[in-house]
Amino acid sequence: MAFSFSLWQLLLPVHHVAVKPVLSLSDGTTRTESDSLTTTKNFRKKLMAIRSIRSLLCSLFAVLSLLIPFGAISAEKTTVIPESLKILGWVEFTRLEPWGIKTPARIDTGANTSSMSARDINVFKRNGKTWVRFTFDFKKGTAERSIEIERPLVRMVKIKQHDGPSQERPVISMEICLADEIREAEFDLIDRRALNYPVLLGRKALAGYVVVDPARAYLTKAVCGHTKKKKKGSEPADPGQQHE
């Protein structure tokens, strides 16, 4: 019986080693399989904890980005206007060349093309080319402040009306003085006597040349070699109380 007990005592460690085999490591140390499993479990727990923290930080950043204006967490950006660009208000004086006729113009970046007031429009032929003759009233309500103009026809264009069918208009090219520079622009001709401004300048005439401050008006002078002094009391009316 003692022998059997002693034999059992000898077999017990062997059985224990069989359940937990020893792993030899490269540094000469040994580690049981249970130790390796424990280490693996601990690593997985740490990895899961890191992932949880990262997910929490991402969620927190998403919430903050909704609560804080983007400008408050980003670097402030300042738009620099190149010196080559002129700043215009939504209404400016312009001059029709070569006569130097001074007239107010509405600066409309919402319109693609430019328009000029014209009445008594007559299309005719001259030396085999098509011309347009019309009367331009450059001061509203003053019949004597008008001039008859003849210009070659550039083309006919169809303009879609807001409350009606498309309207065909003649298009001419003219030089204008705007912001102290003479530039050439195309205008479609239409009777604008019912409107406040005989000239409307659209994007094509302004692109790459000016920037517009819609809160201000009359920021420039239409002086392109013209030296006529402005008369006293001839300040323009408040544009804020006027329409197109």
pLDDT of 74 over the 80 cut? no
Provide CB contacts within 8 A for 201, sequence distance 6+.
Answer: 94, 105, 106, 107, 108, 114, 178, 185
Question: Structure pTM?
Answer: 0.59
Domain 86-223 in CATH: superfamily? Acid Proteases (2.40.70.10)
Q: Domain coordinates of the chain in residue numbers?
A: 10-67, 86-223
Which range among 120-129, 136-145, 153-162, 229-238 shows the weakest confidence by mean pLDDT?
229-238
Specify whether the CB–CB gap between 19 and 37 falls below 8 A: no
Alpha-helical regions (H) of the chain: 2-19, 33-67, 70-73, 203-206
Which range among 11-15, 58-62, 104-108, 201-205 shows the weakest confidence by mean pLDDT?
11-15
Q: What mean pLDDT comes out for the span 81-96?
A: 87
Query: Band of the pLDDT at 125, cuts 50, 70, 90?
Result: very high
Higher pLDDT, residue 33 or 62: 62
> Quick count: other Cβ atoms within 10 Å of Cβ 201?
27
Higher pLDDT, residue 141 or 75: 141
Report the half-sphere exposure of 207 (CA within 13 A, side-chain side): 9
Provide CB contacts within 8 A for 46, sequence distance 6+.
Answer: none
